[in-house]
């Protein structure tokens, strides 16, 4: 079946540091890939997505590239801020072309300090 | 748009009691999802509906859990009888086939069963 593996957290960084959160996946077919973010006390919200190989999703300074050859979708940001402290979830869709259920990773907590 | 609305935000109950969680999806969305989040198991999909019809309930943990969607603007998740191991944050999410696989999450209901 489909699965998503994320690096374990927490990840602790100083403000303005470079961020990478690794995500690899196992899936049949050609899934779409997503990063969701959960701020304290809130629900998840979509951060970025990519729907086919070599696509790059980007939002709020975060980027991730859909790498089919390595089955990866690593999240990066060049300079993190304290306000980026949250839990980040990598996810994939199990069907292409329709709204359907997502398979989530276990989440990676990011803590950014001054 | 008010987003996905969940009630109550917090629920504390005693073992054996019936618990009902409520969700109002975003108007016009075709899909509704119920998730459970715990530290031990992460984010789990319990059940999802398409056009008010349950499509996949394989994640419902046992017969004590039931979910309904009587109309396009309302869904309930019921636990009867509740047990301490049901303590978790329960999220409702909705999505539209017009925006493939982007799920919009509610703020969640934090359930504590004593």
Phi-psi label, residue B84: left if phi above 0, alpha if psi -120 to 50, beta otherwise? alpha
The answer to whether the CB atoms of B105 and A44 lie below 8 A apart is yes
Q: Does B91 touch chain A (CB under 8 A)?
A: yes
How far is the first Cα of chain B from the last one, in angstroms, to the nearest whole number? 36
Q: Does B25 touch chain A (CB under 8 A)?
A: no
Which residues of chain A lie closer than 8 angstroms to B102, CB-CB? 34, 46, 49
Residue B26, phi then psi, degrees to nearest 5: -70, 135
Q: Look over chain B and give the mean of its residue pLDDT values, rounded to a whole number.
A: 93
Q: Provide the pLDDT confidence category of residue B27 given band limits of 50, 70 and 90.
A: very high
Q: What's the confidence (pLDDT) of residue A96?
A: 54
Q: Look at A20-29, A89-98, B12-21 and tell me which has the smallest mean pLDDT.
A: A89-98
How far CA A79 is from CA of A8, A62, A90, B33, in Å, comes to: 21, 9, 20, 34
Q: What's the confidence (pLDDT) of residue B64?
A: 95
In sequence order, what are the beta bridge partners of A114? none
Q: What's the confidence (pLDDT) of residue B100?
A: 63
Q: Is the pLDDT of residue A5 over 50?
A: yes
Shortest CA distance from B42: residue in chain A: A106
Nearest CB to A99; choose among B45, B101, B105: B101
Q: What's the confidence (pLDDT) of residue B1?
A: 64
Find where tokens 């934090």 sit.
Answer: B110
Q: Is the pLDDT of residue A97 over 50?
A: no
Question: Percentage of chain A surpassing pLDDT 70?
Answer: 94
């Amino acid at each position: 079946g489909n699965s998503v593996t994320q690096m374990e957290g927490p990840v602790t960084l100083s403000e303005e540091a470079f961020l990478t959160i690794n995500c690899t996946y196992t899936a049949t077919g050609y899934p779409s890939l997503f990063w969701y973010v959960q701020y304290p006390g809130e629900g998840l919200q979509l951060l970025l997505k990519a729907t086919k190989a070599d696509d790059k999703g980007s939002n709020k300074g975060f980027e991730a590239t859909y790498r089919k050859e390595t089955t990866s979708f690593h999240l990066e940001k060049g300079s993190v801020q304290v306000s980026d402290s949250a839990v980040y979830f990598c996810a994939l869709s199990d069907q292409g072309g329709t709204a359907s259920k997502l398979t989530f990773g276990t989440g990676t907590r990011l803590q950014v300090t001054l | 748009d008010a987003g996905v609305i969940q009630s109550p935000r917090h629920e504390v109950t005693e073992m054996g009691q019936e618990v009902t969680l409520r969700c109002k999806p975003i108007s016009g969305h075709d899909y509704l999802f119920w998730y459970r989040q715990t530290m031990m198991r992460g984010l789990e999909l319990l059940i999802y509906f398409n056009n008010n019809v349950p499509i996949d309930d394989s994640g419902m943990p046992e017969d004590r859990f039931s979910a309904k969607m009587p109309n396009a603007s309302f869904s309930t998740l019921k636990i009867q009888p509740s047990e301490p191991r049901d303590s978790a944050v329960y999220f409702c999410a909705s999505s539209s086939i017009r925006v493939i696989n982007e799920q919009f999450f509610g703020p969640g209901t934090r359930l504590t069963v004593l």
